[in-house]
Amino acid sequence: MQLSHWIDGKAYQNSQTIEDVNPANGQVIATVPVADQAMVEQAVAAAKVAQKQWAKQAVHKRAQVMFNLRNLIVEHFDEIVGIISLDNGKTIADAKGELQRGLEVVEYACGAPELLKGEHSRLVGSDIDSWSEFHSLGVVLGITPFNFPAMVPLWMIPMALICGNAFILKPSEKVPMAANKLAQLLQAAGLPDGLFSVVHGGRETAEMLIDHQDIKAVSFVGSTPAAKAIYQRASAAGKRVQALGGAKNHALLMPDADIENAADTLIGAAFGGTGQRCMAISVAVCVGDDTADKLIASIVPKMDKLLVAEGNQADADMGPLIDGIALDRVGNIISEATAQGATVVKDGRQIQANNSGYFCGPTLIDHVKADMSCYQTEIFGPVLAVVRVADLEQAIELTNQHQYGNGTCIFTQNGAAAHKFANEIEVGMVGINVPLPVPMAFHSFGGWKQSLFGDLHAYGPDSVRFYTRRKTITQRWLKQAAGQGTAFGQL
């Protein structure tokens, strides 16, 4: 398959290309063009022209495009799921979950007339009214990761467009196929040409886009080093930036927790998506040795039942890692854990010999300490580390000292413990007996500390603020006697 850039409603190629590989078998599934400076200039120029008219479009007409897009995604749901599974390697069930969460943001964007109606205050002074309006920014950029080829772009695209902007998407070069499908659906939904572009490439392409003087805002999801670098580069140029980075999400298990239920939910939270999620639970913090022993006794048999296979296999529970680099990184971290004194209870590397792709099975490591690499590092693989602590206070302190603060959760039947945890934990998204506290589309998604660079979170109410600039107008008209004329004629 030969992919193309999508600019001004048309497909474009250029001479430099890279290969898109199926992580389940290492085979090339597509050839992808790499944009040069001329292609970037063409995309931005088309976006600038289209955006000027789009910003003047009635809000309810912008919303109608989102209604149409929503219906088209539903109509093509299984096709998009198949693209995600092929390109990323994730299971069909994971791909369906991803697309459903992206679809929810499209549905939220359909409420544009309500989201963008502004605020009004009557009589802020003598005969003075004041109101605020949301105005578009212009051309905005989204740079998205490999682990959610459809969901993360759909966090950005609908909200940016309904706010009156043009949007350029630079998807991960590792999973480029879903972006092109979204471009086709947006065109079919009635979005005017030029308002949505897909520009393929790697880091150099991203930097050309970030540096372009007509790009007004940058949204990014990826690793913390990349998020930090993009934030610094773009904000230094005066651009608005939201850059979501990495995570090391802790699940705290209290002695009174329903261990069987916790183990069931941790199976999905730790190993779903092969652990390649910024909201994956990668650390189980157990209060007391008895709690840790019970968790391990419960979760290992469940891990043994997980089928690791190609994502499009109907009964697969886990697919492959994205590439050989990821596979080597996960394997090295497991080896380091052993060398540093941890206990590898279940080693997922043992399945590698049975597969031609980049597979690693679910892995459980016990007796992990805070100074070990498997604790400090965002592994981004199917590895769950068990840390044993004495009490709730120590668990909170441990979590708060970590550089990341994306998501966390607590399993307990004690309301006071849950209340203390929720209040004192320094993490952006918190679950109570909920292992993956990903907010719904009408809230906003984002972490604290090294998990987020920028002031506003993704999608939800924060996205309206991010993709608009506020204008406040204060107005006063001098009183006229009833029926008295003015310089402009009769009232």
Q: Where are the domains of the chain?
A: 5-245+451-474, 249-432
pLDDT above 60 (res 490)? no
Q: Is residue 464 a contact partner of residue 113, using CB atoms and an 8 Å limit?
A: no
Residue 488 has pLDDT above 60, yes or no: no
Q: Which amino acid is at 326?
A: A
Contact 177, 20 (CB under 8 A): yes
- Indicate the pTM of the whole model: 0.95
Of residues 199, 98, 189, the one with CA closest to residue 139: 199
Task: State residue 478's pLDDT score.
Answer: 85
* CATH number for the domain running over 5-245+451-474: 3.40.605.10
Q: What average pLDDT does the segment 466-481 reach?
A: 89
| Res 360 pLDDT > 80 | yes
From residue 437, alpha-carbon distances to 203, 389, 433 in Å are: 31, 23, 9
Question: How much is the average pLDDT of 480-488?
Answer: 55
**Mean pLDDT value across residues 171-199:** 98
The C-alpha angle with vertex 335 and arms to 348 and 272, in degrees rounded to 5, equals 35
**Catalytic residues, which ones?**
278
Tokens, residue 467:
């993709």
Mean of pLDDT over the chain: 95
Residues in the chain: 491
Rounded Cα gap, residues 402 and 397, in angstroms: 9
Mapping DSSP to helix (H, G, I), strand (E, B) and coil, where does residue 321 land? Answer: coil
Does this chain's domain 5-245+451-474 share its CATH topology with 249-432? no
Phi-psi region of 9 (alpha: psi -120 to 50; beta: other; left: phi over 0): left
Q: What is the CATH number of domain 249-432?
A: 3.40.309.10
Average of per-residue pLDDT across 114-121: 94
pLDDT over 80 at 368, yes or no: yes
More confident residue, 118 or 63: 63
pLDDT tens readout for residues 254-312: 999 999 999 999 999 999 999 999 999 999 999 999 999 999 999 999 999 999 999 99
What's the confidence (pLDDT) of residue 124?
A: 93
pLDDT in tens, 199-218: 999 999 999 999 999 999 99
Return the pLDDT at 481.
55
State the burial class of residue 93 (Cβ atoms within 10 Å of its Cβ: 0-12, 13-18, 19+).
middle
- What is the per-residue pLDDT for 479? 76
With a pLDDT cut of 70, the percent of the chain lying above it is: 97
Q: Residue 482's CB: how many other CB atoms inside 10 A?
A: 6
- Bridge-based pairing of strands 166-170 and 139-143 is parallel
Residue 237 in contact with residue 216, Cβ under 8 Å?
no
Confidence of residue 491 (pLDDT cuts 50, 70, 90): very low
Tell me the per-residue pLDDT of 19-49, one tens digit each, with 9 for 90 and over: 999 999 999 999 999 999 999 999 999 999 9
The pLDDT of residue 161 is above 60 = yes
Q: One-letter amino acid identity for 463?
A: S
Q: How far apart are CA 147 and CA 283, in angstroms?
A: 20
